[in-house]
Structure 1
């Protein structure tokens, strides 16, 4: 019994309290982030947009996220991670309150673009903060703790969102705005005195001129990461539409996403600690990519609830094995360079995917069916496996 207890508890030891507080902020913020998993369903069901129009609107959200990641990285190098996170969290609130009041396609595309821009500024700053408060030895665990908070929030948010949306859709936007306010307040109250101390030593603002946009091999690595992220982001764009298409209710969809978050909450940290002892970083990433492939490949042939649960389990566990370790690779690559810009560029892979994924997913689903969509996604995952493994082992390891 003690071995089991230690297996689950020991991975949390040795992390700085600042890492814990950053994760608390992420938990509160993401607990309210029930908008994205239901946005596609909201646009089609509540506002009556077609799949094509919904894909366009979701892509505007993704386009804003690309800009947000870029700006976030630049702002961190100029302003420091604390101010950027605060600005992002509080600027999110007006947009979340406005979205449910807008029904016009063109106005909605603008507000979704701005909202995602303000929202995504937060992530590069948060990633840099994690790097600042972790050592090289525990960095993967620090990123995993942050991901764990995100995933636990993703358990609470969609589960609550499924219930709220079945009562009144607008509630998911209002609760998201409240969560952004609370998380911003927590961040300010805990870190304001610490930043006054660390900023005197220039710990938060980069003076280095090494840009990730001149790092050729890192850019190639990021390109293949984008291919991976496009596949992963089907989770938020077309996968809920697929669930709806096979007859699942909004509450059932919310419960499936809630199950994902609960699963990751239970196993992420112990699994990461164990895997780092038995596998090197790139083999962990490749294992995660193969799990992602398996999750989507199941949907090519099956749509009953039990196999859907196996599919989403594979996709969820793949997150554990891929994202924290790609973050770690990026943060190590950025040592002694413009770390804000590096983490911003890394964050942009998911923002870019948010732009591409809805267009690709809804186009293929509407014109060729969901089975064809999942086949294309599986092919793209194989491409990403090949590219990520090659660029890491043949190029990046020369300087990591």
Structure 2
């Protein structure tokens, strides 16, 4: 029986592997190595800053805000340069530059120096992000993008199965180990990316004039005039405002209110990652044939329930249950949202559209951290979860409204079932 199950699982893995081109798997492999470094460090970043510099969560929120502001600048620059010069060079530059920035953060002991370096890390860490999203869309045909983005999540979260537990163990000895290991993994990723990954930027059509640098960045104005896409970004920002409570605020809340140590929180994050690894691809396959905005609305409601639970429960087992509910919401919303963003982006502007989609994740991350810090520092911390639930309900209603809007005016077909 066990052998039959293993053989069936192996056949499924082989079939999935054969569905996607080799370049896609190279991209997934490099993403795993890089994500492992982030999974070691960033779940514990808020804990490190509060402990190393003796500041409150609202001050940490301001630091994250500065990280986001420079991240937006980096993503804006990267999106334009991705469409002009190509995907591969931007990813490699971002990996090397961010690795050096993160390494310097681990050695700084003065807050006045730490904050500018955080801003530099935000700039360099996001300059290659639009190129990564564009590469997935370039490599895969439209009908496979939702599954491809789902697999991307599986690969990244596989790193989070290992990263938080290892990071929690290393953090008990020295946080510096986290910064050094993250740097080494980013540099390794850059080297492998250079050797294995091809350039995927669509070839310039002969006879058509090439954009100047000025025209490339002016192209962001076209994105702003795409009303349906901008409304989609607003709904996504509200949803991400809820998800942004996941790491920084949740870690500090569980530590300060319930006395949960870092290693125990690492296991909660690992539960999230393990569920994604085991179930993400299967869930994405199941929902591909359904209207995407309905799936986004349903997934956001799961986030509402999961995060809302943290305002009421007080045992470790129920913390785990709440995270399981949150994870179901993530598995429904994240890959489908990425596939919609890729579908709505014209091929020649894909880097710039994906940059804007990245903004919808970065901005709420900073704002959410700061607002959560104000609540935790000055009011009952449990109100943070009640407010998050309310914001999530509004986001779900926005997605539902978009479903009816597209049915009436916008011709966007539901994500088709994959062949085979």
TM bin (shorter chain): over 0.9
CA shift at 1:323, angstroms?
1.1
Q: Is the 8 A contact 1:65 1:351 kept in 2?
A: yes
SS in 2 for 1:138: helix
CA shift at 1:239, angstroms?
0.6
Larger Rg: 2
SS in 1 for 2:259: coil
Q: 2:18 & 2:254 partners in 1: Cα distance?
A: 39
Q: 1:72 & 1:233 partners in 2: Cα distance?
A: 23
Aligned to 1:176, which of 155, 163, 182? Answer: 182
SS in 1 for 2:143: coil
- Which residue of the partner structure matches residue 157 of structure 2? 151
Q: Is the 8 A contact 1:285 1:321 kept in 2?
A: yes
- Which residue of the partner structure matches residue 56 of structure 2? 50
- Which residue of the partner structure matches residue 370 of structure 1? 381
Q: Is the 8 A contact 1:162 1:255 kept in 2?
A: no
List alignment gaps of at least 5 residues for structure 2.
Answer: 413-420
Deviates more, 1:378-387 or 1:113-122: 113-122
Q: 1:11 & 1:40 partners in 2: Cα distance?
A: 37
- Which residue of the partner structure matches residue 203 of structure 2? 201
Q: For each residue in 1:53-93, what CA deviation from the matched residue of structure 2 results, as whole angstroms up to 9, or x when unmatched?
A: 22221222222222222222112112111111011000012
Q: Is the 8 A contact 1:147 1:324 kept in 2?
A: yes
Q: 2:8 & 2:393 partners in 1: Cα distance?
A: 36
- Which residue of the partner structure matches residue 22 of structure 1? 27
Q: Is the 8 A contact 1:19 1:130 kept in 2?
A: yes
Q: For each residue in 1:150-198, what CA deviation from the matched residue of structure 2 results, as whole angstroms up to 9, or x when unmatched?
A: 111122221211111011111111110011001111110002xx33xx6
- Structure 1 segment 278-297 matched on structure 2, within 5 A: 279-297=290-308
Change (3 A) 1:295 1:13: farther
SS in 2 for 1:338: helix
Deviates more, 1:126-135 or 1:389-398: 389-398
- Which residue of the partner structure matches residue 384 of structure 1? 395
CA shift at 1:7, angstroms?
6.3
Deviates more, 1:54-63 or 1:378-387: 54-63
- Is 1:228 the counterpart of 2:239? The answer is yes
Aligned to 2:225, which of 214, 218, 221? Answer: 214
Q: Is the 8 A contact 1:32 1:176 kept in 2?
A: yes
Q: 1:35 & 1:103 partners in 2: Cα distance?
A: 17
Change (3 A) 1:206 1:129: farther
- Which residue of the partner structure matches residue 75 of structure 1? 81
CA shift at 1:11, angstroms?
4.6
Change (3 A) 1:375 1:23: same
Change (3 A) 1:65 1:354: farther
Q: Is the 8 A contact 1:35 1:172 kept in 2?
A: yes
Deviates more, 1:4-13 or 1:210-219: 4-13
SS in 2 for 1:103: coil
CA shift at 1:280, angstroms?
2.7
CA shift at 1:261, angstroms?
1.1
SS in 2 for 1:300: coil
Aligned to 1:274, which of 279, 283, 286? Answer: 286
Q: Is the 8 A contact 2:102 2:121 kept in 1?
A: yes
- Which residue of the partner structure matches residue 270 of structure 2? 258
Q: 1:368 & 1:79 partners in 2: Cα distance?
A: 49
Change (3 A) 1:219 1:337: farther
CA shift at 1:335, angstroms?
3.1
Q: Is the 8 A contact 2:66 2:119 kept in 1?
A: yes
- Structure 1 segment 98-113 matched on structure 2, within 5 A: 98-113=104-119
Q: Is the 8 A contact 2:293 2:402 kept in 1?
A: no
Q: Is the 8 A contact 2:68 2:366 kept in 1?
A: yes
- Which residue of the partner structure matches residue 237 of structure 1? 248
Q: 2:235 & 2:156 partners in 1: Cα distance?
A: 24
CA shift at 1:260, angstroms?
1.4
- Is 1:353 the counterpart of 2:378? The answer is no
CA shift at 1:244, angstroms?
0.8
- Is 1:90 the counterpart of 2:96? The answer is yes
